[in-house]
Amino acid sequence: MADEMFFSSDSKSLRRGKRTAPRTETCRPCLVWPEDAPDMHMRGVILDMNAYGMLVRMLESLPPGMRIEIQLMRDDEFREPLAKPVTAMVVRNIVHNDGFVEHGVQVVQHRIRRQESKPLRKTPWTPRPRRRERSRMHTRHLRATGSKPRGRE
C-alpha cells in the first residue's frame, strides 16, 4: 500500500520521492468541493503541501481526475477562511483501514495573461535651469596678538 505512492503501474517509471519542491508538513483544516458543485462542502485536513500539490485526508472518496476547490480554514470549526480557494485536480487516492481516504492533489496553475506593453514615447530633452548654489563663505575668528580672550580675566 505504501509503495503505491512511489511506483507507477506501467513499470517504466520509478519515482523515488523526486518532487519539484519539498512538501511542508501541516495539519490545516480545509473545505473541499467539486468545481461544478460549489454548494457541496466536505471537510478535510491537509497533511502536507507545497506550491504544486497537497495531501488531503477526508472521509469521502473523490475519483482521480476530478477538479476540486480547496479552501484553507483558520479554525477547527471550519468557520473562518484563511485564504481564497485554490483549484486543484485529484491525482490519486489512498484508502486506509480506519475509514479515511488520503487524496494526492495537484494545484492547477493558472496562466498569467501577457499584456502587450505600451510603446515608449521619447520625451524631448529640455535643459533644467541651473539652481543657484548657496555661497560657501567661511569665516575665521581672528584676534590681534596680545589681546585677552573675552570672558576670562
Tens-binned pLDDT, residue by residue, of the chain (153 aa): 444 444 445 444 444 456 677 778 888 899 999 999 888 999 999 999 888 889 999 999 999 999 999 999 988 888 888 889 999 999 999 898 888 999 999 998 878 777 777 777 777 877 777 777 776 666 666 666 666 666 655
CATH at residue 61: 2.40.10.220
Nearest residue to 59 via CA among 16, 93, 8, 23: 93
Q: Classify residue 30: in a domain, yes or no.
A: yes
The domain total for the chain is: 1
Helices (H), 38-136: none
- Residues 71 and 90: their CA atoms lie apart, in Å, by 15
The DSSP call for residue 73 is B
Of 86, 68, 95, give the one whose Cα is nearest residue 1: 95
Q: Which domain holds residue 79?
A: 22-107
Q: Report yes or no on 81 lying in a domain.
A: yes
**For residue 46, what is its C-alpha cell?**
491537509
pTM of the model: 0.59
**Do residues 43 and 60 touch, judged by C-beta distance below 8 A?**
no
